[in-house]
Amino acid sequence: MKLDLITGLYVFMLAAFIGFEVIRRVSPLLHTPLMSLTNALDAIAVVGAIILVGEGKSRLATILGTIAIVAATSNIVGGFMITDRMLKMFKASGPRKP
């Protein structure tokens, strides 16, 4: 689907503002999981690589795209896994939840 430059810039600007406002509220307690989570979300770039490889327009695109899928997928899988592992460890004091 076509996306013109100006619309793209609007999208970028609004997303950046939302990002600032939302992420500013993340407690410093969770800055490490924040980084691993945004890293996993960023690996959504995999959709670009999937289309590139799937369309198979050139051998170069297939080779580079496949490596790109490997790199991004490892970020998605590893990123979500470790973020969840970290967050599971954060417990409040007092009556412990199961």
Partner 1 sequence: MTNMIASEYILEIAYLIATALFVLSLKWLSSPVTARRGVWAGEAGMLLAIVGTLLHGGIVSYRWIAIGLVLGTMIGVPLGKVAMTAVPQRTALSHAFGALCVTLVGTSEFYLRAPNVPGFMMGVLSLEVILGALTFTGSLMAAGKLQEVLPQRPITYKGQNFVNLGLLAIAIGIGATLVKHPDKMYLFPFMIGIPLVFGVMMIIPIGGADMPTVISLLNSYAGLSAAAMGFVLQSKLLIIAGALDGASGFILSVNMSKAMNRSFTNVLFGAFGQEQVTAKGAKEARPVRSASPEEAAGILTAASKVVIVPGYGMAVAQAQHKVRELYDALTKRGVDVKFGIHPVAGRMPGHMNVLLAEADIPYDKLLEMDEINGDFPQTDVALIIGANDVTNPAAREDTSSPIYGMPILDVDKAHTVMVIKRGMGAGFAGIENPLYYMDKTLMLFGDAKNFVGSIVREISGGHN
Q: By CB under 8 A, what part of segment 31-90 binds partner 1?
A: 31-58, 60-62, 64-90
- Percent of residues in the chain assigned helix, strand, coil, to nearest 5: 80, 0, 20
Phi-psi region of 56 (alpha: psi -120 to 50; beta: other; left: phi over 0): left
Q: Does 6 bind partner 1 (CB under 8 A)?
A: no
**Tokens 């490997």, residue located:** 70
Q: Does 95 bind partner 1 (CB under 8 A)?
A: no
Q: Does 91 bind partner 1 (CB under 8 A)?
A: yes
CB of 14 to partner 1, least distance (A): 8
Q: What's the token pair of residue 25?
A: 């509220």
CB of 85 to partner 1, least distance (A): 7
CB of 63 to partner 1, least distance (A): 8
